[in-house]
Structure 1
Amino acid sequence: MYEKDGEKYFIVDSHSHFWDASEENWVAGAEQYAKGWIDCFYGYHKLGPPSEQWDWQRFLKVSEEDFVRDVFDEGHVDVAIFQSTYLREWYRNGFNTVERNGSLLERYPERLILNGRWDPREGDAGLKQLEEDHKRYNFKGVKLYTAEWREGSRGWTLRDPEAMRFLEKTQELGIKNVHVHKGPTIWPLDKDAFDVRDVDTAATSFTELNFIVEHVGLPRIEDFCFMAVQEPNVYAGLSVVVGGLMYARPKFFAKVIGELMFWVGEDKMLYGGDYNIWTPKWQVEGLVDWQMPDDEQFTDYAKLTTDTKKKILGLNAARLYGIEVPAECQLGAATPTGDVEQPGEELVSGTAGL
C-alpha cells in the first residue's frame, strides 16, 4: 500500500516477472539470440532514472530476496501478477516459466497471482498442458506472445484457427483474463508479429474474456485506441508506458496517457511495472505525483484525478481478478460498472455526429 497526502493507494502490479536469463540457461548454438534478447531488455531498463539502474549481471537473474525487497518491501506493491514467457528456443529451462514463477507463488500466495500461457502451434499437446497447469494453479489469466519463435515459425496471430481453439479452451476453463503482448519488439523478434490488429477479432468473438493489451500496442497507439474504444472487453496494459516513457520521454508519455484517457477511459487502464526491467517504487511514486502538463499542446487531454490514479494503479486490476481491496483504499463512491457508458460508446451505437 502506498500513502501520499492522506490518500491510500492499493497497488496491483499487473505485469511482473521472475526470469532466468543467466548464461547457464542459454541454449547452445542460440547464444546470440539469448544474449540479444536480454540486452534489448537491458536497453529498456536504461530508460529509467539513473539512480534505479542495475549492472548487467544483476539484471540477468534476480533472487527471491531481490524480488521481495524490490516489489513488496520497497515497491509499494500489494499484489503482483506474474506473466509467463517461455522462449525455449533460446533458454534451456525457459525464460520466465509457470514453474519458476510458481516457486514464489507457493511462498507468497496472498501477494502473488500466477498467470499461465499457451501457444496455438503446440496443438493438442499444448491444450493438454494448459489444462494440467490450470488444474494445478487455478489460473485467472494467461499471457500470450504472438511473436515468439518456434521450430522455424516466427509468430502467429489471434485470428489463426488454432488460436481460436485455444481461446475456446481458455473460456471453457473459466480463465477470464488474456494478456497479449502487443507493443515494442524485442530483438530478434519481428515487429509485425506484435501488430495489434488481430485483437479486435478475438475480442468480438469471445466477449466473456477480457483482453489486456500489454504495452498498449506501442508504437501503434492510434491503432490500439481506435480498436479498443469499440471493444468493451479490451483493456490497456500500461507496462512499458510508465517505465519506458514517464522518465525518459515525458511529452510522449503525456500524449499516450491523454489518448488512452480519451478513447479507452480510466476504468480500462491497468498499471504494470514490468519487473525486473524496472522496479515499481519510482513508477508508483511518480505516477501518483504526475499530472498532465499545462503546455498548450496538451490542453485537450484530461487531467488525472486522485480517483483516476487509484483505479489505474490497482482498483481496475483488482476488479478483473477478484482481488479484495481494503476499505481505506476504495473510492468514496462505487466504481463504475459495465453498465456505465464507456468513452466513445456513441461510435458503436452510431449516434456520433460524424
Structure 2
Amino acid sequence: MYEKDGERYFIVDGHVHFWKPTEDGFRRQNEETIVHDLFETGYVDHAIFQPATADPEGVAPGSALTERYPGRFTVAGLEPVAGNLKGVKLVTTELAGRQLSDPCSYRFLEKCQEFGIRNIHLHTDPSLRPLDRDGTEGADGADASAAFDAAGLDEVAAAFPDLRFIVEHVGLARLQDFCWIATQEPNVYAGLALALPAILTRPRQFAEIIGELLYWMDENRITFASDYGLQHPKWLIESFVDFEMPEDFQDEYGELTTDVKKKILGLNAARLYDLEVPDGCGTSEAAAESDEIGANSKVPV
C-alpha cells in the first residue's frame, strides 16, 4: 500500500511477469526478489501475473506463488480451463496471422464464457522483431499480418458483452484507434503498461496519453500496470501519485484528481477481480455516498 499526504492508495499491479532466465540475458527472478520488489519496496497489494509462456508441464510461471502467498497474486492463464481462473491472456501477435475476429478466437472466448472467466487481457504493442508495426511481413519472412494490432476488438467486444477486454499497453502505437473502439464498447479497458514510463522522461506526452484515455473512456476503465520485471512499480506509483496535468492541458482534459488516481492504481482492477479493498482506501466520492446513505437510513444504529 502507498500512503502520501494523508491518502491511502490500494495498489493492484495488473501486469507482472515471472521471467525464466534465458540465453538472451533476462535477469533471473526468484521468489525472494519478486516478493521484495512488489510487496516490500514496490507498494503493491495484489499482482496479476501475465505469463509469457507455460513450462513443459503447461503450468504458467507464478502459479506456485499464488498458493504460497494467498491473497497477493492472481494468474491470468494462457488458456481457458475449468476451475477458479478469473482471467486469461491473449496476444494478437500470432505468426499465423490470426486476429481476434477469427473463428479460433471466438472458440477461445466462448470457452472463457462457459467457464466463467470474464477478464481477457489482450496484449497489443509494441512491435517486436520480426513483426512490423504496419502488419506487413516481417524481415525474416514471417507472416505478421496481425502484428500487435487490436483489429477485431470492437467486433468481439460487441459479441461478448459479458467479458471484459483489458487492452494491455493501450494499443499505444494506435492509441486513437483504440480510443474510438473503447468509447463505443463499455466492456473495453485500458492497461497502462508501457505508457507509464513516459511520466518521467516525457511528462507532456504522458499527459496527452492519459488525457485522451480519460476523455474518450472514463476513470473507471483504466488500470495500473508496471510490466514488472521490465519496470519497477515503486517509481511508477510514486510518480503517478505526484503527477499533475499541465495547466495548458487542463481546459481540454481537466485535472487528474486523487480519486481518479485511486481508481486507476487499484480500485478498478479490484472490481474486476473481486478483491477486498481495505477500509480507508476508497474514494472521497464513495465515502460521501456512504455518509449520505447513513444519514438517510431509517434503520437505527
Calculate the TM-score normalised by the size of structure 2: 0.86
Shift, 1:238, TM fit: 0.7
1:253 corresponds to 2:206: yes
d(CA) in 1 for partners of 2:117, 2:245? 36
Residue 74 of structure 1: which of 25, 41, 46 is its match?
41
Report what 2:74 is aligned to.
113
RMSD value over aligned CA atoms? 1.7
Q: SS in structure 1 opposite 2:200? A: coil
8 A Cα contact 2:51 2:60, kept in partner: no
Query: Which structure 1 residue ranges, 4+ long, deviate > 6 Å from structure 2?
Result: none
1:70-94 deviation per Cα after TM superposition (whole angstroms, max 9, x unaligned):
11100000000001222x8xxxx47
Report what 1:271 is aligned to.
224
8 A Cα contact 1:98 1:115, kept in partner: no
8 A Cα contact 1:215 1:236, kept in partner: yes
Change in CA separation of 1:144 and 1:302 when aligned onto 2, cut-off 3 Å: same
Residue 175 of structure 1: which of 117, 122, 126 is its match?
117
d(CA) in 1 for partners of 2:70, 2:131? 33
d(CA) in 2 for partners of 1:253, 1:303? 14
d(CA) in 2 for partners of 1:202, 1:223? 15
d(CA) in 2 for partners of 1:233, 1:11? 22
Letter of the 1:176 partner, please give it: R
| Structure 2: gaps spanning 5 or more residues | 136-146, 288-301
Q: SS in structure 2 opposite 1:255? A: helix
Letter of the 2:63 partner, please give it: G
Higher normalized contact order (CA 8 Å, seq sep 6+, divided by chain length) = 1
8 A Cα contact 1:236 1:269, kept in partner: yes
1:241-261 deviation per Cα after TM superposition (whole angstroms, max 9, x unaligned):
113x11222221111011011
Q: SS in structure 2 opposite 1:218? A: helix
Shift, 1:104, TM fit: 1.4
Q: SS in structure 2 opposite 1:15? A: strand
Shift, 1:98, TM fit: 4.1
1:221 corresponds to 2:175: yes
Q: SS in structure 2 opposite 1:220? A: helix
d(CA) in 2 for partners of 1:13, 1:159? 28
Shift, 1:105, TM fit: 1.4
1:313-334 deviation per Cα after TM superposition (whole angstroms, max 9, x unaligned):
0000001110000111012333
- Counting only pairs closer than 5 Å after superposition, residues 5-154 of structure 1 correspond to structure 2 as 5-23=5-23, 35=24, 57=25, 59-86=26-53, 93=55, 98-118=59-79, 130-131=80-81, 134-135=82-83, 138-149=84-95, 153=96
d(CA) in 1 for partners of 2:151, 2:102? 13
d(CA) in 1 for partners of 2:166, 2:224? 11
8 A Cα contact 2:51 2:61, kept in partner: no
8 A Cα contact 1:143 1:181, kept in partner: yes
Report what 2:4 is aligned to.
4
1:239 corresponds to 2:213: no
Report what 1:196 is aligned to.
150
Calculate the TM-score normalised by the size of structure 1: 0.74
Report what 1:160 is aligned to.
102
**Greater Cα offset, 76-85 or 248-257:** 248-257
Q: SS in structure 1 opposite 2:108? A: helix
Q: Give the number of equivalent residue pairs.
A: 274
d(CA) in 2 for partners of 1:222, 1:174? 31
Shift, 1:156, TM fit: 1.4
Change in CA separation of 1:181 and 1:78 when aligned onto 2, cut-off 3 Å: same
d(CA) in 1 for partners of 2:224, 2:271? 13
Letter of the 2:89 partner, please give it: K
d(CA) in 1 for partners of 2:63, 2:76? 9
Shift, 1:10, TM fit: 0.1
d(CA) in 1 for partners of 2:236, 2:78? 26
d(CA) in 1 for partners of 2:32, 2:130? 31
| Structure 1: gaps spanning 5 or more residues | 24-34, 36-56, 119-129, 336-354
d(CA) in 2 for partners of 1:203, 1:16? 24
Letter of the 2:123 partner, please give it: H
d(CA) in 1 for partners of 2:44, 2:235? 12
Change in CA separation of 1:21 and 1:185 when aligned onto 2, cut-off 3 Å: farther
8 A Cα contact 2:10 2:266, kept in partner: yes
d(CA) in 1 for partners of 2:284, 2:94? 43
